[in-house]
Amino acid sequence: MRWSKTYIPTLRQNQSEAELISHQLLLRGGYIRKLAAGVYVYLPLMQRVIDKFASIVREEMNKAGALEITMSVLCPAELWQRSGRYLTVGPEQMRLKDRHQHEMVLCGTHEETVTNLIAGEVRSYRQLPLNLYQIQVKFRDEIRPRFGLMRGREFIMKDAYTFDASEESFAKSYQAMVDAYFTVFRRAGLDVLKVESDTGAMGGKAAHEFMLLVDTNAGEEKIAACANCDYAANVEKATFKDGATVHIDHDVKPMQPIDTPGAATIEEVTAFLKVDATRLVKTLLYVADGKPIAALIRGDRDLNETKLKNALGAIDLEMADAETVERLTGAPVGFAGPVGLREKAPLLVDPLAAALRNCIVGANQNEKHILNVNIDRDFKATKIVDLSKARAGDCCPRCGSAMVVKDGIEVGNTFMLGTKYSETLGAKFLDADGNEKPCIMGSYGIGVTRTPQAALEKYHDDKGIIWPRSIAPYLVEIVPISMASPQQVEAAERVYSMLTDAGIEVLLDDRDERPGVKFMDADLIGLPIRLTIGDKSLKDGKVELKARASDKVELVPIDDVVGAVRTLAGSLT
Ligand code: ATP
Ligand code: MG
């Protein structure tokens, strides 16, 4: 391809719409343009990157025995009503009515469509296992569609769905997909960590996420990982053994109200009373599906809202606003406590809070706390359940070693769905004994537009992108320093033909631009290899070969260019 014949609108200035380096580079490199929040146009270079990554995904899915299909994006709302997800997915789902006033949805995932497809078609265990996948556009009305392709409202996903007749068979299908995922990401130059995750609105039994760990600010997920064994989980899901040193009193003392003027937050109360935060219990008020609830956790811990949501089986969970807090406790925010609160709201108590003796709580009165409060004597828990968020230094639930917390980008995930969809949508088969059973299902996603952008969080420097070779739009950029030099143009054309004939993908910068501009653009768009053609080396019949990631320049005779490019490419990620 010649630069003059394609469309690469590079930009010199940083774009204010982009917070993340990867987003910035895609805009500046002329890869994408925004149409509306979370809605992008993929320009020619991006299209090639997406196609490259999609081919890797397709090859590995096919190898794993998955069959490619394409399902419609549009789906009757009725299927989502039957699975129950019309309610649980809520405003993230794009909905519309057709001209006959039928309610329709634009799918953000295809469990309903694929299960409905199988229902009534697959009747015998002999037709199973079955693995169907597609690479296709998805719609989700994300609350915060920032970060470019990382979180679009319209984006491309590879989604696969497995149907099995038995748990043993399902375990094999699941493992085959997990193995294929590691291969996909490795081929794209990405080292990913498989972590346990919450199943969320997807439902089902268990799930894993494939995380790209990053040092930049792009990690939307936190991962608790054991430094010793292979336990790793999304912090939303992670369990732990408490690593804090906590003093537990032996004697139970009488309750004692105390004035705490001006002290409402944990920091203020601990400073005022000169006690450790582990002696306090925080009472956090929430509204879950319209009803107030109170969550109690130890003063030094943070609440994990996903755990709370799961403990309640709630669809919608929000912190109570100041007005609700006042109505429930009779005091301003900061003084809520469990004593006497249970008539107003159920009390969910974290085990670390429940283990304390003589703890300090809010008194449900302005600027007052109560000392020596004890569970069971002074208040009763509706439920004792893990609500604490794991943090660095907590001990691994498996081996007890200290855990670290890392930032990651979720590039793919795998769900063990069980029979939730096959039961509600009727995907049943007859087993060898003639008994009717629901298929055991799995669902598996990879972000086809998110992953290449995520890769850029790793693969860049201060000048621009450095693509891993397998997903680069072209392998080589040829840069003749001056288009006014007939010798350079001739050599460039020759090298271009040699490489193209050898099946190597090349971009020739044939623009009549200053060399500085061409080099800056070459660094920005980030093709893995650059061939520079200038008068000096041409005198000896040579061109300059350089990897984007390195400053080392090699002078190569024109006749040897194909071999030299291949050798250099072989040494790159
Ligand atoms: P997240 O927690 O990041 O919202 P998710 O759990 O909703 O992701 P899935 O529904 O399992 O994701 O989708 C499968 C894959 O699709 C994800 O692993 C991710 O790579 C990609 N993906 C999900 N949402 C988006 C989005 N809004 N934009 C781009 N890619 C996305
Ligand atoms: Mg999501």
pLDDT digits (tens, 9 = 90+) for 253-298: 999 999 999 898 999 999 999 999 999 999 999 999 999 999 999 9
The C-alpha atoms of residue 244 and residue 240 are separated, in whole angstroms, by: 11
SS (H, E, C) 244-304: CCCCCCCCCCCCEEEECCCCCCHHHHHHHHCCCHHHEEEEEEEEECCEEEEEEEECCCCEC
> From the alpha carbon of 210, which atom of ligand 1 is closest?
18
Closest CA relative to residue 153, chosen from 98, 94, 211, 212: 94
- Average pLDDT in the 348-356 region? 97
pLDDT at 516 over 90: yes
Q: Assess contact for 242 and 352: CB atoms under 8 A.
A: yes
State residue 107's pLDDT score: 98
Q: Which residues line ligand 1 (CB under 6 A)?
A: 109, 140, 142, 151-152, 155, 157, 410-413, 445, 447, 449-450
Residue 50 tokens read as: 């997406």
Q: Tell me: pLDDT of 85 over 80.
A: yes
pLDDT band at 90 (very low <50, low <70, confident <90, very high): confident
Q: Is the pLDDT of residue 243 over 90?
A: no
Which of 22, 407, 413, 451 to probe ligand 1 with, by most ligand atoms within 8 A of CB? 413
Strand order through the sheet with 368-373: 256-259, 368-373, 359-362
Ligand nearest to the CA of 202: 1
Atom of ligand 1 nearest to the CA of 140: 27
- pLDDT above 90 for 342: no
* pLDDT at position 237 over 90: yes
Residue nearest to atom 8 of ligand 1 (CA): 410
- pLDDT at residue 147 above 90? yes
415 CA closest ligand 1 atom index: 11
Residue nearest to atom 24 of ligand 1 (CA): 151
Q: What is the DSSP letter of 402?
A: B
Question: What confidence category does residue 201 fall into, taking pLDDT thresholds of 50, 70 and 90?
Answer: confident
pLDDT at 202 over 80: no
Inter-helix orientation angle 44-63/450-458, to 10° = 100
> What does the alpha-carbon distance between residue 75 and residue 240 come to, in Å, rounded to a whole number?
41
C-alpha angle 102-106-111 in degrees, rounded to nearest 5: 105
Give the predicted TM-score (pTM) of the model: 0.93
Whose alpha carbon is nearest atom 25 of ligand 1? 151
Contact 558, 537 (CB under 8 A): no
pLDDT at 250: 84
Q: At what angle do helices 21-28 and 450-458 cross, to 10 degrees?
A: 110
In which order are the strands placed within the sheet that holds 476-480?
506-508, 476-480, 529-533, 542-547, 553-557
* Minimum-distance ligand 1 atom for the alpha carbon of 446: 15
pLDDT at 200: 79
From 17-21, 33-37, 108-112, 342-346, the region with the lowest mean pLDDT: 342-346
Which ligand has the shortest distance to the CA of 111?
Answer: 1
Distances (CA, A) of 525 to 28, 235, 464, 521: 8, 35, 7, 6
Summarised one tens digit per residue, pLDDT across range 150-168 is: 999 999 999 999 999 999 9
